[in-house]
Amino acid sequence: MKLLFEIQPYFRIKKYEYEYLIHGTENPIFKEDIEKFYGKSPFHFVGHFKRKPISTFWQLAKFYKLNHKKYDFIHLQTGATSELCYVFPFNFLYKIPLISHSHNGNGYAPVINSLFKGLLNLSTKVRISCSDEATRWLFGERYIKSTKILNNGIDVERFKFNEHERLAVRANYSIGEDSFVIGHIGRFSDQKNHKKIVSIFKEILLHNPSAKLLLVGVGELQDEIKQLVTQVGMEQSVIFAGKQSNTEAYYSAFDVFLMPSLYEGLPIVGIEAQSMGLPCFFSNTIDSQIKLTDNTHIVDLDASDKEWADTILKNIKCKERKKYPQIISEKGFSIQQTVKELEEIYKYNDEKISVIVPVYNVEKYLERCIKSILNQTYSNLEIILVDDGSTDISGKICDNYTSDKRFKIIHKKNAGLGMARNTGLDHATGDYVVFIDSDDYIDADMIKSLYDELVQAGADTCIGGFKRVYSNHTDNFQTILPKKYIVVMK
């Protein structure tokens, strides 16, 4: 299986092939970071819709036209519904299933969010989220139960306190071994609220004039924050470290981690900082699940700078920092656990299901049937349309789908329903088979529900019920097999 990762990947599984689509600007440090831990993979860089929408669209159009046949899935790592622009409408056009992965819990205007949310849910086959709050924001309340919660796992062995790295980073910036260092790692953007970080640090300097603020990251607001630091006369106390690939060394150099974000889902840097044994101070706008250790403190975003500073200064005592990776792992936030769960998600959509549809003179119903199959929440489908010598336009309707790689279109002389199904079986390559009559249509989660029951029970066959649909009501029917015909193998 080959996946296209849109936006930043945080984990990957060795047995799958990955390529990366990055928007904005080419970032060699980001690329080096990925290759350092995961090996070399193709990277594709495109523009930014906010800055150059027309040229970016044409870059994407060219990219997907040349590459779409390579991908079994697109895994969209997103903190904003607007990032759908980088995959839609191309995933629709080229029929590439979309896995949407929510990392944020707020942040965009409700009108804009609502506009993109409908398109996102229409395009998405598999929904993943870091928390329930992030699910509500990106997908909506109705998708809470069907969205897989996947913890933002980290490499706890990498993010373990290291005294040697602590001293090396401090020496590099001429920071004394005993100096009190407040740290932050994050992009310079409105979301991260660097102005608040600076103003809180200003209060801390009143109590500890030798303290340092070490900011790691880059972004569009970096120059503005530098100007602010100069205006308040703190340029000797604030260090701008830029983009760094060895962030674990910087966590070791910090004494506390400060993150008063305006909004977040479940930030990975927050997990990393806790694994490093740092006293962490998060705003209450961050998902409450961020609190994983006894060193973590939640502060009201609207609290005064003095209240923030007082809370920090009262809770700066570092406990045994090397014990915290084990705590983070036990809470389910190790990368090993995350990868295992992600592999189950990929595997779930990796087993192919052949959907066989015998077709004979059903021009009135065939489109409805096909659309209901295409709308399934289970993605990896092989759809086999067997035209059994139709005398109406049913065969032509089937041919409309020849360009879709998920379809196999077969035309044969009329021989009846049974022979049409057998012909479909002869061409099926899936791990499982589903038969659907062409004058029927199915609920969006039918195939997923049947598959889930099969996997859970370890069965070979699963039979569901059906409904008879009339103009003003429906009748439910349930297929029940006598127990004497059911054999359970253990």
| Residues 365, 438 contacting (CB under 8 angstroms) | yes
How many C-beta atoms lie closer than 10 Å to residue 152's C-beta? Answer: 22
The whole-angstrom separation of Cα 288 and Cα 442 is 39
Q: Give SS3 for 121.
A: helix
pLDDT digit string (tens) for 175-223? 999 999 999 999 999 999 999 999 999 999 999 999 999 999 999 999 9
Domains, in order of start, for the chain: 2-149 (3.40.50.2000), 163-333 (3.40.50.2000), 351-487 (3.90.550.10)
Whether the full predicted model's pTM is greater than 0.75, yes or no, is no
DSSP string covering 249-268: HHHHH-SEEEE--S--SS-H
Residues 39-60 pLDDT 10s: 666 778 888 777 788 888 898 8
Mean pLDDT for 462-485 is: 67
**3-state secondary structure string across 393-445:** CHHHHHHCCCCCCCEEEEEECCCCHHHHHHHHHHHCCCCEEEECCCCCCCCCC
Question: Rounded CA gap, 174 and 212, in Å?
Answer: 11
- The SS3 of residue 458 is coil
Q: CA distances (Å), 427 to each of 62, 78, 371, 385, in order?
A: 33, 38, 21, 10
- pLDDT number for residue 158: 94
For residue 218 the two structure tokens come to: 């880059």
Only one residue has tokens 């003095």, namely 306
Q: Closest Cα partner for 464 from 442, 431, 486?
A: 442
Which DSSP state fits 334? B
Do residues 413 and 338 touch, judged by C-beta distance below 8 A? no
Between strands 212-216 and 181-185, the pairing is parallel
pLDDT-derived band at 489 (thresholds 50, 70, 90) equals very low
Which stretch of DSSP H or E encloses residue 167?
helix 163-172
